[in-house]
Amino acid sequence: MLVLIPLLPFAGFVINAFVGRRLSKTVSGGLACLVMVAAFLVAAITGWTVISGGHAIEQTLFTWLPSGDLQIPFALRVDPLATVMILVVTGIGALIHVYSIGYMHEETDGEYARYFSYLNLFASFMLVLVLGANFPVMFIGWEGVGLCSYLLIGFWFRKKPAADAGKKAFVVNRIGDFGFILGMLLLFASFHTLDFQGVALAAAARAPETATFGLMTAATLLLFLGATGKSAQIPLYVWLPDAMEGPTPVSALIHAATMVTAGVYMIARNAVLFSHAPTTLAVVAGIGVATALMAGTIGLVQNDIKRVLAYSTVSQLGYMFLAMGMGAYAAGIFHLYTHAFFKALLFLGSGAVIHALAGEQDLRNMGGLKKALPVTYWTFLTGAIAIAGVPPLSGFFSKDEILFRTFTGTAVNGWNGRPLLWLIGIVTSLLTATYMFRLVFMAFHGERRHDAPAAPVRPEEEEPGAPVPPLPGPVYSDLPAVDRTHGATHASHAHEGAHLHDAPPSMAIPLIVLAIGSIVAGFIGVPHAIWGSNRIETFLDPSFEVSREAAATEPGAPLVDVPPAAEPHEDTGRELTLMAVSTGIAFAGIGIAMYFWLRNRAASDRMARRFAALHRLLLNKYYVDEIYDAAVVQPIRLLSTSGLWKGVDVGIIDGAVNGVGLSVGAGSRGLRRAQTGSVRTYAASLFLGVVLILGWYLWR
Amino acid sequence: MTPITPYHYLVLSAALFMLGVIGVMTRRNIIIIFMSIELMLNAVNINLAAFSQQLHNAVGQVFAIFVVAVAAAEAAIGLGIILAFYRNKETLNIDEMNILRW
Amino acid sequence: MDVIAFYIFAAIAVVASVLVVGQKNPMHSVMLLITSFGALAGLYVLLDAPFTAVTQIIIYAGAIMVLFLFVVMLLNVPREEPAPPAVSALLGPTGIRIGVILSLLLGAEIVWALSRIGLGWFPQDPAAASVSSVALIGASLFTRHAFAFEATSVLILVAMIGAVVLARREH
Amino acid sequence: MPPGFSSSDFYYLMPELVITAGALLVLALDVLLPRAWERVLSWVTVAVILGAGLALVPSAGQNLTIARDLVAIDGFATFFKVLFLVAAALTVLMSPRYLTLENVHPGEYYFLVLCATLGMMFMAGGVDLITLFIGLETMAVSFYVLTGIIRPNKRSNEAAIKYFVLGAFSLGLLLYGMSILYGLTGSTHLRVIATSLVAGDGGLLLPFAVMLLVAGIGFKIAAVPFHMWAPDVYEGAPTPITAFLSVGSKAASFAMLLRIFVAGLPAFRADGLGTAWGQPFGWGAFFYVLAVVTMTVGNLAALTQGNIKRLLAYSSIAHAGYILIGIVAGSTRGVSAALVYLMIYAFMQLGAFAVVVMLRRKDIIGDELKDLTGLYATHPGAAIAMLVFMLSLGGIPPTAGFMGKFWVFGAAIDAGYVWLAVIGVLNSAVSLYYYIRIVVFMWISEEEEKSAAFGISPAVATVLAVTLAMTVLLGIYPRLLFDFAQASAASLGSVPSLGLR
């Protein structure tokens, strides 16, 4: 039963991948949606069983990694935490599949099928990630979604930025995976199990590493490195904004609602382990809140509609990590869940705008779309209100819960920085409301504009004029560069200005459904302070403790209690105050946006001029790419050009990640130069090995 | 005069071995390189025969005979390869073998 | 007597080998190599290994070196050719110098290794009989090492077929 | 009956005998059959290999030595023989069309493939230095000829010469090491060597000999810095031979390495004379360094390659590094991890090369990355198979490659070599980059000029199907392989004595 959930999308992938080119768009798209809906139904039934039964369902398919006493089964498990996730993945996934039918209709049959096969494959892997009962099974999904994300970002691989973005995402995620695998191996070596429950039990049997830097701290830090890669946190967040080069529904599904939350999910999944490593939790909280603030400020000045949303995603993910770091796992997952609704909605809405404007993504070239695109406008507005945190929409409840928990929890490692974290959170909340409504006002209100300076055409980057050996650059650079943007295909329809059309039904319906979701999704988590019952928290909490049945089977293991979550009933008064503050902040943010970008646009320009340095700093994303470039790329380039590889022209590459690629590439080329083709060189190398090893031995 | 011990033979064989290695490393003519390799194999045989005598153990000589057999097989194949190469490129210069590189 | 014979044969072998490596003309190298092998055969006799000595003369100096001679004459390239233009610093004289340095380094290491062990270190088995008899070696080859012997026949067959495959002219 | 043998010897030597007889049969058929019947030869060869596989059945579960203590029939040998036979059969299956295109005479080709397999089997079974080295030479000489078998092709010639000269050079080093080992112990039998050698014996001569053995075998497994022949030879050799070389020859050399070092020189794993970087000094430390350098150099050099065969050559160098990790770990678990890795590697590597073989067309050599362009459009099945092989080589679950890496790194961590595992993980992270590059090329569709469609011969399709199935199957259900490898690793070094000296 459980296995059906990932298997259904996988079947869709197989059919679309192998025979998709021969199917018409209706069939291949319809099939892809159908399997997702079916998966959603199965997930719903499963979820209902979990909710009503109150305990986890487990299905072991077979023993996967057997070796003596170490058995790792291929097992799937649904507990409350996983229930929430599978519902989000299949539900929102199905909606986005439906949306894609309309959005991608310009593609050729083959490309269309390819797109849907990737999308189905992604859903399948994401479900494996969520359902896996142990680390290796989760890792299958973890790697799989990364692969799909990479394929989908580079879907229009003839577009150079898309290809570069795919490459960047790939490399950054490999750094994260490196941490994940090492963390996993470390746990395996010390706990001799990789089952999540087993790890939780083993961790619970140890004393929390409060002041010491021990095994669990090391393992959790490594796992967290993996999470920062997948969930775009400092310092590995740089790939996500670039990932917006992919098709918009992909941004909605993978880079907003599901895949990027995998890091959060993974931490929540190992809540007991992380709770026993307070140092890591402090790091998680710090990174989370720093990322939230930084991405929020960058989002304030970006002009590309999708990039604003991308930074907003990074920022909201920061909130979730803040919750994880505070030990408020349920609150974090609650936010993950509501965020999936409104962020998917916002992305799909922006997709509808881009679709209507024939590929235009620059906010400065928008405006006044309210009348032409009513459905898009109203749904988008709903999403914006939800993310801004205006009650009673969903974003308010989840965000408020995180901020409340941040403010009230116990001290971390003896350091009580909670008020500070809360303050930063509140500031970020203000920023969120501001940049979201800036976006709404710039895109939908006022008059249609064409302000954007023409994008400077980047000179065609030439292949390094290498001497003898052909030096294909990294992954994509030696592909034929054919410009075929989404916009270009739309432009042929000449939607220019006169008759903008609103989203077609296949796109409108998902928008409306998601808008409704964004409004009501929060009601399952209404806090006690305002006469709610916070059902989601009571539902999720068992997932974050050592399961009683599992503990019972291991009599020797003393139960060390997880630090108790703060009692929600205690300070109703304080909670209400905080709630009022954050509501006020949300309205303040909207007000600021209204002042600068609706009433008085000149003021915003004045502000930009007055704080020109700050504005430039934000516009250039804190120069992080440039800093990485200066710190990593340039020294290496200097080294590599100065002497050793003088003849090798080094390509012009931007960004830190590419810097790593560059240094590695230079090393690679150096090694190739050593491969002279001369037998004598080879014999010398062989002999060098002999002399060195013997010399080493004798020297000792 | 000190009697001859395996030590002397070891020194001799090491000398021949080094000469062979130097030949491989410095010469351009494939046939001479090949002869240098034969020199290395003979150094091995000296070792084996010397040890065999020292240990009163026939295995060393048997080993040496196998080495000779293998050397013969290698010579046949090696010269065949050299011949085939020469037919294509009209050279025995090992430095001109450089289609395959980088 | 033995001592003098050893030094004479060893000197011949080493000098001839130096000349093999140092010769410009491959033909001379072949001749010198045969000389060196002859000297080695003498050493085998000193080492109580008459059968190995005979093998050395018949197979090595006789068969294998004649094959070399044959190829050298067939291809008729008497002189070492000049180096082609170097495409990399690792080719050309630098490369050769590196090779020589490496070889000398290994030589130094071997000398060091040898200097650390005593002359009489090697284990001895006084109970065993002398191994000089051809019969003993024959018995060893055909009983104890019969498997390896048979396996060698496959090797020789491969070499034969391989040589035919490689040297055959296209038709 | 020859005095060296008994009848049970023949019983257990049946696989070798079948292969020898089969090789002669192929040679005879080649002369007797008319030209038009050439295609039959490949099927005869496959049948011979299958027959040898059947003849291997009695060896299962045995643990004894035969032929006067020269050959072991144990789980270890059986494991490798299975691997060689599988590799040989798949190599033969991917050859026929390639041979026709290259105008190579098939009779000698199949004969030599069988003889190379025979040599490998000697290497897996040999417990005596002489047997091992005769096996090694049988294999090597066959490969020298096979590499250069496309006589009119300059690349093939050059590859053969390079392989031969360097191979003979490394043989010289190996034999010199073996001769010293003999001098120190008075025997060529590994068990006698193991029992009579104590750490510290022979002063500096023992490490000298060990180092020469490391170099000689390191050459065959293409470990850095003894690896430089590999890219050139892999590129120049006929593609099916490249596949066989990178799988069979490498596995056989690893078998020999394990035999010599684990079964023959356990005392020198750590010689008790001190430590280097916290590790006891000995061949364990040598291989530690080799593993690190091999992985790193192999992966780095592969990054900028444009030729698929060269790229796979560097990748295969890197994989030798991963396998060495298992050997450094040294425990039964480490050795069994190395065996598992070798088997998995065989399937994925052969599969990848089968795709390259498929790309060889009339006027297209098909070994450049660009030749892969549009493969997904023309041959989606082959492209998806290649995708799986690449993911597997890169170590992505749930493919078999992940299993292999997981077990090797796990064994290393278990044995306390945490940093080695870290470097390994880092390397496999880097390696995925160039594997994905291959995939990217396949997925580009060229609408303008549709690359001329070319057929896949049923034989190559079979190879792809088998390797793909095994790559997936061993990733999802590796239990049988693990058990097999574990039993095989346990049998290494536990060969019962016959009291011979």
pLDDT tens digits, A225-274: 999 988 888 877 878 888 888 888 888 888 888 888 999 999 999 988 88
Q: Are residues C140 and C159 in the same domain?
A: yes
Higher confidence at residue B93 or residue D340?
Answer: D340
Q: Are residues C108 and C130 in the same domain?
A: no
- D300 touching chain A per CB within 8 A: yes
**Phi/psi of residue C54, each to 5°?**
-65, -45
Core vs surface per residue A192-227: b (16+ CB within 10 A) or e: ebbbbbbbbbbbbbbebbeeeebbbbbbbbbbbbbb
* CB neighbours of residue A423 within 10 Å: 15
User: Which one-letter DSSP state was computed for residue B101?
Assistant: -
Gap from C114 CA to chain B (nearest CA, Å): 8
Cβ-based contacts of A681 with chain C (< 8 Å): 90-91, 95
Higher confidence at residue A591 or residue A501?
Answer: A591
User: Which residues have CB under 8 Å from A31's CB, separation 6+?
Assistant: A12, A15, A16, A23, A116
Q: Do you find a cis peptide bond into A470, omega within 30 degrees of 0?
A: no
**Phi/psi of residue A469, each to 5°?**
-75, 140
- Is there a contact between D276 and A683 if contact means CB atoms under 8 Å apart? no
Q: Which residue type, as a one-letter code, is found at position D425? A: V
Q: Are residues C97 and C23 in the same domain?
A: yes
Tell me the HSE value of B90 on the side-chain side, using a 13 A CA sphere. Answer: 0
Domain assignment present for residue D283? The answer is: yes
Report the 3 state secondary structure along A437-490: HHHHHHHHCCCCCCCCCCCCCCCCCCCCCCCCCCCCCCCCCCCCCCCCCHHHHH
Tokens of A168: 């960047």
Q: Are residues C61 and C6 in the same domain?
A: yes
Higher confidence at residue A460 or residue A328?
Answer: A328
CA distance A348 to A380: 9
- D274 touching chain A per CB within 8 A: yes
Taking only the tens place, the pLDDT of each residue in C104-140 is 888 888 777 777 765 555 555 554 545 667 888 888 8
Highest mean pLDDT among A491-505, A618-632, C43-57: C43-57
Taking only the tens place, the pLDDT of each residue in D87-102 is 999 999 999 989 988 8
Facing residue for C63 by CB, picked from B3, B31, B72? B72
The neighbouring-strand residues paired with A71 are A66
- Which residues span the domain enclosing B58? 29-91
- In contact, D153 and D102? CB cutoff 8 Å: yes
Cβ-based contacts of D478 with chain A (< 8 Å): 64-66
User: Which residues have CB under 8 Å from D432's CB, separation 6+?
Assistant: A170, A174, D394, D395, D396
Q: Is the pLDDT of residue A648 over 60?
A: no
- Is there a contact between A698 and C87 if contact means CB atoms under 8 Å apart? no
Higher confidence at residue B87 or residue D23?
Answer: D23
- Optimal mutation site among A676, A679, A682, interface C, most CBs of chain C within 10 A: A676
Taking only the tens place, the pLDDT of each residue in C139-150 is 888 888 889 999
What is the model's pLDDT at position D483?
86
CA distance A343 to A340: 6
CA distance A477 to A469: 16
- C64 touching chain B per CB within 8 A: yes
Q: Are residues C113 and C129 in the same domain?
A: no
- Which residues span the domain enclosing D221? 7-492
What is the model's pLDDT at position D139?
96
Task: Tell me what the mean pLDDT of segment A141-167 comes to.
Answer: 77
Kindly report the CATH number assigned to the domain that includes residue C75: 1.20.120.1200
- C23 touching chain B per CB within 8 A: yes
Task: Tell me what the mean pLDDT of segment A461-468 comes to.
Answer: 33
Q: Is the pLDDT of residue A611 over 80?
A: no
Q: Is the pLDDT of residue A566 over 50?
A: no
What is the model's pLDDT at position C87?
57
pTM above 0.90, yes or no: no
Cβ-based contacts of A691 with chain C (< 8 Å): 102, 105-106, 109
- Is there a contact between A690 and C106 if contact means CB atoms under 8 Å apart? yes
**Phi/psi of residue D126, each to 5°?**
-65, 135
- Is there a contact between A174 and D432 if contact means CB atoms under 8 Å apart? yes
Q: Are residues C81 and C164 in the same domain?
A: no
* CB neighbours of residue D361 within 10 Å: 15
Tokens of A646: 């003088």
B26: confidence class by pLDDT, cuts 50, 70, 90: confident
Q: Is the pLDDT of residue A598 over 90?
A: no
Work out how many domains chain B is built from and give that number.
Answer: 1
Which residue from A663, A667, A645 is spatially nearest to A653, judged by alpha carbons? A663
- Which residues span the domain enclosing C66? 2-123
Say if strands D64-66 and D71-73 run parallel, antiparallel, or are unpaired. Answer: antiparallel
> H-type helices in chain C, by residue range?
2-22, 26-46, 50-55, 65-75, 92-115, 134-139, 146-167
CA distance C37 to C31: 10
- D215 touching chain A per CB within 8 A: yes
Task: Tell me which residues of chain D have a C-beta less than 8 Å from any C-beta of chain B.
Answer: 129-130, 133-134, 137, 141, 144-145, 148, 151-152, 154-155, 157-162, 164-165, 168-169, 171-173, 175-176, 178-180, 182-183, 186-188, 231-233, 235-236
Cβ-based contacts of A140 with chain D (< 8 Å): 397-398
Domain assignment present for residue B70? The answer is: yes
Work out how many domains chain D is built from and give that number.
Answer: 1
Facing residue for A472 by CB, picked from D226, D304, D476? D304
Of the candidate ranges A19-28, A372-381, C52-61, C148-157, the one whose mean pLDDT is the lowest: A19-28
The neighbouring-strand residues paired with A502 are none
- Is there a contact between A678 and B100 if contact means CB atoms under 8 Å apart? no
| CA-to-CA separations, A623 to A290, A617, A620, D59, in angstroms, rounded | 16, 7, 5, 67
Say if strands A57-67 and D71-73 run parallel, antiparallel, or are unpaired. Answer: unpaired
Domain assignment present for residue D501? The answer is: no
Task: Tell me what the mean pLDDT of segment A43-68 comes to.
Answer: 80
A445: confidence class by pLDDT, cuts 50, 70, 90: confident
Higher confidence at residue C1 or residue A279?
Answer: A279
Taking only the tens place, the pLDDT of each residue in D412-455 is 887 888 888 889 988 988 888 888 888 878 876 555 445 555 67
- Is there a contact between B47 and D180 if contact means CB atoms under 8 Å apart? yes
Q: Are residues C81 and C153 in the same domain?
A: no
Q: What is the mean pLDDT of chain A?
A: 77
Q: Are residues C97 and C171 in the same domain?
A: no
What is the model's pLDDT at position D494?
43
- In contact, D420 and D412? CB cutoff 8 Å: yes
Work out how many domains chain C is built from and give that number.
Answer: 2
- Optimal mutation site among A675, A691, A698, A699, interface D, most CBs of chain D within 10 A: A675
- Is there a contact between D183 and C122 if contact means CB atoms under 8 Å apart? yes
Domain assignment present for residue D162? The answer is: yes
- D168 touching chain A per CB within 8 A: no
Tokens of D187: 């025997």
Q: Is the pLDDT of residue D476 over 90?
A: no
Domain assignment present for residue D157? The answer is: yes
Domain assignment present for residue B75? The answer is: yes
Domain assignment present for residue B36? The answer is: yes
CA distance D465 to D372: 19
Q: Are residues C59 and C15 in the same domain?
A: yes
Domain assignment present for residue B87? The answer is: yes
Q: What is the mean pLDDT of chain C?
A: 82
- In contact, D334 and D327? CB cutoff 8 Å: yes
D81: confidence class by pLDDT, cuts 50, 70, 90: very high
Facing residue for C166 by CB, picked from D70, D138, D151? D151
- In contact, C12 and C43? CB cutoff 8 Å: no
CA distance A308 to A302: 6
**E strand segments, D350-457:** none
What is the model's pLDDT at position A256?
81
Higher confidence at residue A18 or residue D126?
Answer: D126
Give the DSSP letter string of A35-50: HHHHHHHHHHHHHHHH
Q: Which residues, numbered 664 to 693 in chain A, qualify as contacts with chain B under a Cβ-Cβ cut-off of 8 Å?
A: 672-673, 675-680, 683-684, 687
- Rg (C-alpha) for chain C, rounded Å, is 21
Reduced to 3 states (helix: H, G, I; strand: E, B; else coil), residue A245 is: helix
Q: Is the pLDDT of residue C157 over 90?
A: yes
User: Which one-letter DSSP state was computed for residue A207?
Assistant: P
CA distance D10 to A168: 60
Instruction: Please report the sign of the dihedral spanned by the C-alpha atoms of residue D281, residue D283, residue D286, residue D289.
Output: negative
A499: confidence class by pLDDT, cuts 50, 70, 90: low
Which residue from A573, A177, A367, A663 is spatially nearest to D429, judged by alpha carbons? A177
Q: Are residues C131 and C95 in the same domain?
A: no
Cβ-based contacts of A679 with chain B (< 8 Å): 33, 94, 97
Q: Is the pLDDT of residue A193 over 90?
A: no
- In contact, A335 and A280? CB cutoff 8 Å: no
Q: How far is CA D71 from the centre of its chain?
A: 20
In terms of Cβ atoms closer than 10 Å to its own Cβ (0-12, 13-18, 19+), residue A417 is: middle
Taking only the tens place, the pLDDT of each residue in D254-275 is 999 999 998 888 877 775 555 5
What is the model's pLDDT at position C139?
86
A4-19 and D380-394 helices, crossing angle to 10°: 130
Q: Is the pLDDT of residue A483 over 50?
A: no
Q: Are residues C73 and C114 in the same domain?
A: yes
Cβ-based contacts of A690 with chain C (< 8 Å): 106
Q: Are residues C67 and C44 in the same domain?
A: yes
Reduced to 3 states (helix: H, G, I; strand: E, B; else coil), residue D71 is: strand
Task: Tell me what the mean pLDDT of segment A653-670 comes to.
Answer: 62
What is the model's pLDDT at position D185?
86
Higher confidence at residue B26 or residue D94?
Answer: D94
**Phi/psi of residue A368, each to 5°?**
65, 20
Q: Is the pLDDT of residue A463 over 80?
A: no
